[in-house]
Amino acid sequence: MTPFFLLLCTVILCTILYCFLFKKETNSTRPPPPGPRGWPILGNLPQLGTKPHQTLYNLSKIYGTLIYLQFGSVNVVLASSSNVASQFLKTHDANFSNRPPNSGAEHMAYNYQDMVFAPYGSRWRALRKMCNIHLFSAKALDDLRPIRQTEVMSMTQEVYLHGKKGAVVDVSQVINVYSLDALSRVLVGWKVFQEAKEAIELKAMVVELMQLAGVFNVGDFVKGLAWMDPQGVVRKMKKVHKRFDQFFDALMEARRTGKNKGEGRDLLSVLLNFQEDGADFEEGKLTDTNIKALMLNLFTAGTDTSSSTVEWALSELIRHPDILKQAQEELDSVVGRHHLVKEHDLANLPLFQAIIKEVFRLHPATPLSIPRVGENECEINGYRIPKNATLLVNLWAIGRDPTIWKDPMRFDPGRFFPAGPHAHADVKGNNFELIPFGGGRRICVGMRLGLRMVQIMTATLIHAFDWVLPDGQTHDKLDMEEAFGISLPRALPLAACPVPRLEPSAYEFA
């Protein structure tokens, strides 16, 4: 049998299955939401383009903020407004609490053994509870504050040395190295990399994983084509997973052999002690695979999303020097110019807080929510949402909804001022017009830590330094293109020259 004939038979079989499934799902008298017509077999997949969040946003202008799509044989519903998102993530949250099958969870996230893609149930709740107690509770965050502050001070010192030389700084690289150092001390008890080069290599692995996780893999939606891996995605996923698995094996071996004892307060110590004690975990004992899968979630999300948000914040402020100046004046007034800003200062900086909210509005860490799947049929806005439909929430589009945000494409922190139209909004999942961390029971578990890291790193970088673009580039010409993945970093890393602006004594610390 020739490869061409085999492919032809596969396409014919997929067509039959597609028609059968589509017919089966349209027996209800209530119509599905409106949406664009798709291609045979592939449905709407070819229409997504290289920046699906923008493509889907443009479709919402045509078909409305609740859209029905067909990705291969999979029914997909897209929410692009706060009203529709709240119905899915609040009213019908329990129904949409699970994840659909996908190759990323299978081949990179230890076959759903992690927390992000784990089925909603007792094991997921146990993992989340463990993280909340030891990492993300108010007490844990306060206990771990000295670690964050030390790494921020180290970052400031490095940038200061570059600034004194008049050198250009790769802002993305600096932020990543020190956010990784802070995170690794919290997760495993020591700085996993002693040289910046090694941290940069891990960052490259994280970026690759996040980009692969954001790919709409044809094999996930047209099962008859999965064996072909037509985009080469699964092959790349297995390769990057192997590198991460070796990395986590080495960390666990170093701890077990005593090569690195850590600082005694880290999550890895807690997990290994729990395992060694033989304590019962949900659905059995805690395995090495469980531990590595959880570490994968925390390392990737913690190093990619927070650092990208800080880089976007600094980019927006460089593009808007008047707002940057106002933020610096506020910091000088509250903190002074003789020492660096501290976490306890942040609550007293209303303009700065508004800036961070505006950055989250325009640059959510995940442009499209991690997909969910509906276990049962339901009704939204009079439309039938079929059983097993995959849900996508376009967070990027919600932040640009002109019915909610006046002049939505404009960077305007004033909208969040106490007297502004959105003074009540927060980013913690309570106001669905601003949900950069998602909403409902599967809201990002690391939200509180991520928010603190974004705030203290951004505040420090604009308090301690002025920023000048290199090679005579003007602020209005700064490239703001995005690179789509499961996260949304800048397409081009931000490069700028730091100019120290505080008293010299502010940069003096051990």
pLDDT beyond 80 at 173: yes
pLDDT beyond 50 at 240: yes
Mean pLDDT of 217-228: 96
pLDDT beyond 50 at 8: no
pLDDT beyond 70 at 17: no
Containing structural domain, residue 153: 3-507
Is the CB of residue 171 less than 8 Å from the CB of residue 493?
yes
Instruction: Cite the annotated binding site for heme by residue number.
Output: 444
Report the C-alpha gap between 394 and 368 in whole angstroms.
5
Confidence band (pLDDT; 50, 70, 90) for 262?
A: low
For 231, other C-beta atoms within 10 Å of its C-beta total: 15
Report the C-alpha gap between 52 and 82 in whole angstroms.
19
Mean pLDDT of 24-38: 79
| Burial (0-12, 13-18, 19+ Cβ within 10 Å), 469 | middle
* Cα angle, residue 284 at apex, residues 122 and 262 outer, rounded to 5°: 90
pLDDT at 263 (0 to 100): 59
The pair of three-digit structure tokens given for residue 42, joined into one six-digit string: 């592939």
pLDDT beyond 80 at 352: yes
Confidence band (pLDDT; 50, 70, 90) for 285?
A: confident
pLDDT, tens only, 48-86: 999 999 999 999 999 999 999 999 999 999 999 999 999
Helix H or strand E encompassing 81: none
| Burial (0-12, 13-18, 19+ Cβ within 10 Å), 193 | middle
pLDDT beyond 80 at 154: yes
For 41-58, give one letter per residue: b (16+ CB within 10 A) or e: bbbbbebbeebbbbbbbe
The pair of three-digit structure tokens given for residue 339, joined into one six-digit string: 């020492």
Alpha-carbon distance values, 284 to 123, 275, 280, 309 (Å)? 9, 11, 6, 38
Say which CATH number the domain at 134 has: 1.10.630.10
Confidence band (pLDDT; 50, 70, 90) for 303?
A: confident
Q: How many CA atoms lie within 13 A of 95 on its CB side?
A: 20
Write down the mean pLDDT value for the chain. 92
Q: Domain tally for the chain?
A: 1
Instruction: Cite the annotated binding site by residue number.
Output: 444
For residue 69, what are the β-bridge partners? 76
